[in-house]
A and B are shown apart, each in its own frame.
Chain A
């Protein structure tokens, strides 16, 4: 037994409940087991038939016509309103065959259309199964007064002319297999078989996972091995490239040493040459500034101290002061000083003059 929720309103939940005698399921299970197969789902023919026309939406009768029996299902969308199995083999005192089936169809339609007068009538009867011949279609249409059509078949490329015989099978093929506990589907699979199936499925999943893990590990191993081999060959080629490199020329060491020596010498020249001063310029500034009446007997220039020392004789103090004034007027000399002793006499003065040099 299994059930599924068909619709769910605020106050009403419509549930479809289907039960099949245990013996029937066991019979199928045993047969499949002996064939080495494990069933994954069971459902009634009525459900398979409804799946074929559920998209229609309107109230419809679908009929599977086999050699010995027929399944009649009155549907509206996914809802099964009535279902009946009609035997086409005559039993004692009963009608049989197509006339009996037509009679049952008429009864079913009459019953439901009388009961639900205000609701839509069945306009179309869909037919499928091995016995769905053209003559059967014509007869049912004529007797029922409804349009009779072959049921839609969801699978293509079936044997030509035998498509309707595969209607239920093709509907089953379209079924999404879910466990019996799913509230939105019907699966009449017994729990014991479901457990066995789940166990087998888990084993298969584990096996596939293990195989997948092995495959991934193998890929990683191969990739790492490939990378190692590649790096090894790269290393070898670099080593050989290194060996092929010509050694530095023998003169390199000498050239570097010479360059360093030259750089050091150049640095010396630049630093020393920048502050070099020769005395000619200084003398050339002093001499024109010596006035008449002043004679220089000694000039001492100290480039380290930047000091000038002049020794000489001036005829008059005025001449001497003029000389000092002239020197201070130049840009090269400043702070020219005369000792007081040099100024004591007014004439014929032996003097010493000190000054700073720029």
Chain B
């Protein structure tokens, strides 16, 4: 049998087979490459997340005092009693007649920040009243004044009644977690 006559068809068949295999493999390559790129990105993102998380924890640990100040400035429901105690402490300077919260729950200002509206009335000489107001200003809480009314039928240089409508800004959410 002359095998040489089968040489060309055999080579052609091998070629066709190889070309088909090439087509299949070459079409798989971009898909594989894409999967590898995605996987690399995921690993990188996870590593970065871990690093960011570690840095965040370290930063938070390093700034505890500042965080305390910020947390204290905006009390939540838990810390409200401390605010009340602070308001009561104003008695040391001026005779606090009354303070009452206008609302039981925080309301929002025009910018969307939550606050508790509060009316405060106290008596005393004007210098003492001003000292009490200064104490309010220097307090660790974020307080703003809406209106102030100073009244003294015999003249404000004498003993005065002072009524202040103020806002104590609170943490959002106000309710404890």
Contacting chain A: which of B28-36, B83-91, B92-100? Answer: B28-36
Report yes or no: A278 in contact with B50, Cβ–Cβ below 8 A.
no
Report yes or no: B70 in contact with A265, Cβ–Cβ below 8 A.
yes
Chain B contact patch, size range:
35 or more
- B1 contacts chain A at the CB level, 8 A cutoff: no
- B81 contacts chain A at the CB level, 8 A cutoff: no
Q: Is the interface of A mostly helix, strand, loop or mixed?
A: helix
Chain A residue at minimal CB-CB distance from B47: A245
Q: How far in angstroms is the closest Cβ of chain A from B109?
A: 8
Contacts of B47 in A (CB 8 A): 245
Report yes or no: A297 in contact with B70, Cβ–Cβ below 8 A.
no
**Assembled-state Cα–Cα distance A279/B147 (Å):** 9
Report yes or no: A297 in contact with B156, Cβ–Cβ below 8 A.
yes
Report yes or no: B12 in contact with A301, Cβ–Cβ below 8 A.
no
Report yes or no: A210 in contact with B12, Cβ–Cβ below 8 A.
yes
Report yes or no: B148 in contact with A301, Cβ–Cβ below 8 A.
yes
- B144 contacts chain A at the CB level, 8 A cutoff: yes
Contacts of B28 in A (CB 8 A): 228
Chain A contact patch, size range:
35 or more
**Assembled-state Cα–Cα distance A278/B136 (Å):** 9
B25, B146, B155, B171: which contacts A304 (Cβ < 8 A)?
B146
**Assembled-state Cα–Cα distance A239/B39 (Å):** 8
**Assembled-state Cα–Cα distance A284/B156 (Å):** 12
A227, A245, A261, A284: which contacts B43 (Cβ < 8 A)?
A245
Chain A residue at minimal CB-CB distance from B23: A224
Q: How far in angstroms is the closest Cβ of chain A from B136?
A: 7
- A21 contacts chain B at the CB level, 8 A cutoff: no
Chain B residue at minimal CB-CB distance from A298: B151
Report yes or no: A268 in contact with B148, Cβ–Cβ below 8 A.
no
- B122 contacts chain A at the CB level, 8 A cutoff: no
Contacts of A31 in B (CB 8 A): none
**Assembled-state Cα–Cα distance A242/B28 (Å):** 23
- B77 contacts chain A at the CB level, 8 A cutoff: no
Contacts of A242 in B (CB 8 A): 39, 42-43, 46
Chain A residue at minimal CB-CB distance from B164: A279
Contacts of B154 in A (CB 8 A): 297
**Assembled-state Cα–Cα distance A249/B60 (Å):** 15
**Assembled-state Cα–Cα distance A228/B33 (Å):** 9
Contacts of A301 in B (CB 8 A): 145, 147-149
Contacts of B105 in A (CB 8 A): none
Q: With A297-B151, A297-B152, A299-B150 known to touch, is A241 a contact of B43 (CB < 8 Å)?
A: yes
A246, A251, A269, A277: which contacts B145 (Cβ < 8 A)?
A277
Hey, which bits of chain A sit against chain B, CB under 8 A?
207, 210-211, 213-214, 217-218, 220-221, 224-225, 227-228, 231-232, 234-235, 238-239, 241-242, 245-246, 248-249, 251-252, 255-256, 258-259, 261-262, 264-266, 268-269, 271-273, 275-280, 283-284, 287, 295-304
The 30 sampled A-B contact pairs (Cβ below 8 Å) are: A214-B11, A214-B18, A217-B15, A217-B18, A220-B18, A224-B21, A224-B26, A228-B28, A231-B29, A231-B36, A235-B36, A242-B46, A245-B46, A261-B171, A262-B70, A268-B74, A268-B113, A269-B142, A271-B111, A272-B111, A276-B137, A278-B134, A279-B133, A279-B145, A283-B130, A297-B155, A298-B151, A299-B150, A300-B149, A302-B146
